[in-house]
Structure 1
Amino acid sequence: MIKFFVSIALIALLSFIFGLFLPWWSIAVAAFVVSLLIHQRPVVAFFAGFLALLLLWGGLAWYIDMANDSILSARVAGILPLHGSSVALLIVTGVIGALVGGGGSLTAAFLRK
C-alpha cells in the first residue's frame, strides 16, 4: 500500500517536472520510469499512473481555468462536442492525461514480468 502512494507521488512530481521542459507525452515516460523502479502488479501500477496523472492534469487544468474565470475553457468546450461545459472539458483533460500515465505504468509493469 505504501508503494502505491509513493508511486503516485513520484509519478505526479516527475510528470510535472518533465512537463516544464519536455513535450506533453513525456508524462508517459515519467510513469514508465517510476513503475519500472517500483515493482507492482500490473493492475496496481496502472491505477497508480492513472490516479497520479488524473490528479495532476485535472488539478493543473482546474487551476488554469480558475485563473482566467473559465473564459478559455468555455470557448474550447463550445468548439468541441461538450455543449460549452467547462467542467466536462476539465474532466476530459484529466482523463486523457490519466490514460496516458496509466498506459506508461502498465507498460513498465508488464516489461518487468
Structure 2
Amino acid sequence: MSRPTFRFSHYDLKEQRAGTIIEVTLSAVANVRLMTPGNFQRFREALDFKYLGGVAKKSPIKLTIPESGHWHLIVDMEGHHGLADSSVKMIAAPSAPRVSKAS
C-alpha cells in the first residue's frame, strides 16, 4: 500500500450530525480536508479521493458537516513547506427552530 509522500495530521471526528461546524485553527497556510471514511482510505492509499475544504490561508477556518455520519479531517502541507500546528474544535449543529401550531 503506498501512502501520501507528505506529512499530515489526522483527526477522527467519529459520528457527527449534519450542520455541526468544525473550527480548525492553524499556525500556517495548510490544506484542510474533510472526508468520509471511504475517501480517507483512498487518501491513505494515494488514490483519487473527494473532500470538502481546500487551502486555508487564514485561521481559524470553519467547515460544516454536510450530512450525518462518520467523518475524518486531514491537515496537510502538500504544496506548502513544513507542517502547520493545528487544533480542532466542534461547534454543535444549530437546533432546528421550534414551530408551534396555531390551534
Shorter chain as normaliser: what TM range? Answer: under 0.3
Q: Normalising by structure 1, report the TM-score.
A: 0.26
- Between Structure 1 and Structure 2, the one with more helix by share is 1
- Between Structure 1 and Structure 2, the one with more strand by share is 2
Bigger relative CO (Cα 8 Å, ≥ 6 apart): 2
Larger radius of gyration: 2
